[in-house]
Structure 1
């Protein structure tokens, strides 16, 4: 029965329920059963299913019970100007560039300039309002602009709170006192956002997985900037691919997508070009013409590798970070890329046997493709064929010994098989290759806890917490 619940939840919300979280999910289901006075889990499942027509759900009319369950499943952690590095990039480069280009275009065509920004997965609104504050600072003649700043979230209760514009001190833990004093006033036991900033933002409930963006009452197209951070970490790879395609289609021809750090690792980001900044990776929609696409790709590959090697030295990147950056920004040969894309599409659809067949045929022609070996390992993992997973992971590691993703697969298999020492060794290798791999520290902590080694577990938790704080607070030097 629990499997049926996880499938219907993932199908509607995109939220992936891990094996270790199943008992907690069951507790939450029982809470809702008691509220509704239902006698069995089967009754509750049918109750959810009867009010859910996946793919046709009205964007603004999500059933009450689904909202109650979603509130239990989502955390909604947020605060103003979260991740100073990314907001510095927005303030100093991305937004000024968009504002300048939109202004020039409007002047050339004798129309009113337009700027469209979207905070997707905005929680209680701090991110969307942070964008509004930046725009207020960067555009002195706002009255002369057509401006849309939209915040959407699947949690309707979070959206209702966002509309109030009222926050506790916890939401200002990284905000400087000057900005807080300028845009907020003390109100009861918290702070109220300036009404002018509140009016700049429109909030609405939204489901990234099931909603059709073109059907929204607020048309989600030609968006200049989409921020979707700390959302993909809750999704499966298949759901991420689905949502990415929709977000890319919603962008303007040169619009930007900003995600959390490394949230799209391993994803094929179609129609989007990865751009590297000291503060973050971002993705820009680029619609190249066929005439210039192929020759430009060759020259661009050489140029980017040179730039990234220089940047890696200046920023003290780990070898993995440099490897990932180069892989994210250069292209493969058309035939290999087409085959890889075909295999990845099958994987995203859950056609794991087809994925394996396509990838293995390609490997026979190209035995040095890390991507094909790793994708094959992922497909076998989805089928539970662990011996094959190990084989293809080992092959992938030989091809690219600096990549960490195969080690994660091997660690998970070792843990499932009760080989805790081997699982710990795999996670330690990940940390050796990438000392900032927060997930590896957390999984090591869980393993040490399982073994009763409280001291080491706390040490790993402390390391993960320190890395998360650094990610949120530090601004890398240029």
Structure 2
């Protein structure tokens, strides 16, 4: 059997199908991080540059080197660091920190008013430390009589290098983009063009290297954790490993404990040990058998009907760029049809029932987005496609539904439909980097070099708006640096 090879221009490295699979298995076995075939294929140029850096001309040779090298673990950790995101920002997803400050902390402090005043928080997958330090700042600002409390904040990550960087507490300006001027003055000192976090905040956090695939999860010296933050981490893992992690979290969480996940991460179909607490513009999870003392959630602001109607009645595929975008990829062609003709008029929320009761439109959208992701994660792409279509029946302008509809269409080999969905994504949100990037990839695979080059250029232009290590929307783990290298 002749093996297909991918030859990279301007290098002597070739990545064979076997090499890519070895890479995939190596990362999965060590860390539980699941990189599907599409992501591995997209990472091929990045892996090749890494191999050149290590002076290997094939991944097979590098793999054999790892098998007989006593420093295998160090090497694998470096490889994982190279292909994943290692930086975030302070107070990322501000809505969740508002919930942490205004709901979760008061819930815990009220319950322990006349008890032993311990507060135990674990930030799992802390990267360069912005999250645990944001937690520490929030506690300093919110907790009354802080000196009377025994506050323990543990921050862990699989990457030793980012742990060392986090301990130093020195950041660039972009990492502070969600930090107000008054907070910057109070908690940071400017050192050249960098910002150093004050010692009184840094000393509140203990950093430790930890692999979530390990059997024994850390426990606080005072018992189980009150809160676990594990945001934008489980997106890297397959369903089985995610289930295992969440089960482990449940075992080491207090009976009234809280779990914070990333805004796009869900426990739907993963675990029944937690209840979702919805605050309107964000949600968190609480270990079952208790109810949070919650004030009414803040409602999301809705776009005005006039704006939504204006966009809903525009012809997406016949806009100025339609001649270039409406390109046949298979024997069929992309129909130059209007957006509205492809998406039904939004229905009244009362037309829908999920489970036993009638739900509002927003809840319905969140339900089917989560259900679609769950179906896609298990390879049931047809079911996922149906879920995303149900979202679009309610909200034809839902960017997330169009983007993930495109991805599942690719997996169903419905390439024309995938292209159309990416085009609609871009029309609604032109800044969606991954839509440009994936559209370029499909054009290239179809031999349409002109449009592929155009979309790759659009991708690079959009990437200039972000910092090098910033996470790209819907990427599931690709940083700006990685996508720039691939382009």
TM-score band, normalised by shorter chain: 0.5 to 0.7
Residue 75 of structure 1 deviates from its aligned partner by: 2.0
2:162 matches 1:158: yes
Matches within 5 A, 1:305-344: none
Q: Choose between structure 1 and 2: higher helix proportion.
A: 1
Deviates further, 88-97 or 219-228: 219-228
Matches within 5 A, 1:55-454: 63-104=73-114, 106=115, 112-208=116-212, 210-214=213-217, 216=218, 222-264=224-266, 266-287=268-289, 381=380, 390=382, 411-412=406-407, 414-415=409-410, 419-426=414-421, 442-443=434-435, 445-448=437-440, 450-451=442-443, 452-453=450-451, 454=454
3-state SS, counterpart of residue 82 of structure 1:
coil
3-state SS, counterpart of residue 112 of structure 2:
helix
Supply the distance in 1 between the matched residues of 2:377 and 2:51 (Cα, whole angstroms): 36
Supply the distance in 2 between the matched residues of 1:48 and 1:173 (Cα, whole angstroms): 40
3-state SS, counterpart of residue 127 of structure 2:
coil
Residue 275 of structure 1 deviates from its aligned partner by: 0.6
Matches within 5 A, 1:24-39: 25-27=43-45, 29-30=47-48, 33=51
Residue 456 of structure 1 deviates from its aligned partner by: 11
Gap runs ≥5 in structure 2: 1-17, 309-345, 358-367, 444-449, 475-487
Supply the distance in 1 between the matched residues of 2:288 and 2:160 (Cα, whole angstroms): 34
Supply the distance in 1 between the matched residues of 2:168 and 2:461 (Cα, whole angstroms): 35
**Gap change, CA 1:86 and 1:417, over 3 Å in 2:** closer
**Gap change, CA 1:34 and 1:277, over 3 Å in 2:** same
Relative to the length of structure 2, the TM-score reads 0.64
User: Which residue number corresponds to residue 11 of structure 1?
Assistant: 29
**Gap change, CA 1:443 and 1:265, over 3 Å in 2:** farther
Supply the distance in 2 between the matched residues of 1:173 and 1:406 (Cα, whole angstroms): 28
Alpha-carbon deviations, 1:210-237, whole Å to 9, x = none?
Answer: 12344x4866962111111122232233
Gap runs ≥5 in structure 1: 53-60, 107-111, 289-295, 297-306, 333-368, 382-388, 472-478
**Gap change, CA 1:431 and 1:316, over 3 Å in 2:** farther
Alpha-carbon deviations, 1:69-123, whole Å to 9, x = none?
Answer: 122122212111112222122222222222222334x1xxxxx311011111111
User: Which residue number corresponds to residue 349 of structure 1?
Assistant: none
Do 1:420 and 1:447's aligned partners in 2 also have CA atoms closer than 8 Å?
Answer: no
| Aligned residue-pair number | 386
Alpha-carbon deviations, 1:338-395, whole Å to 9, x = none?
Answer: xxxxxxxxxxxxxxxxxxxxxxxxxxxxxxx9999997886565xxxxxxx54x5677
Supply the distance in 2 between the matched residues of 1:196 and 1:326 (Cα, whole angstroms): 51
Supply the distance in 1 between the matched residues of 2:170 and 2:269 (Cα, whole angstroms): 37
**Gap change, CA 1:331 and 1:438, over 3 Å in 2:** farther
Supply the distance in 2 between the matched residues of 1:47 and 1:30 (Cα, whole angstroms): 16
Supply the distance in 2 between the matched residues of 1:203 and 1:402 (Cα, whole angstroms): 45
**Gap change, CA 1:430 and 1:35, over 3 Å in 2:** closer
Supply the distance in 2 between the matched residues of 1:24 and 1:456 (Cα, whole angstroms): 13
Do 1:16 and 1:235's aligned partners in 2 also have CA atoms closer than 8 Å?
Answer: yes
Residue 251 of structure 1 deviates from its aligned partner by: 1.5
**Gap change, CA 1:98 and 1:460, over 3 Å in 2:** farther
Residue 462 of structure 1 deviates from its aligned partner by: 6.0
Alpha-carbon deviations, 1:161-194, whole Å to 9, x = none?
Answer: 1111122222212211111111111234422211
**Gap change, CA 1:223 and 1:19, over 3 Å in 2:** same
Deviates further, 414-423 or 178-187: 414-423
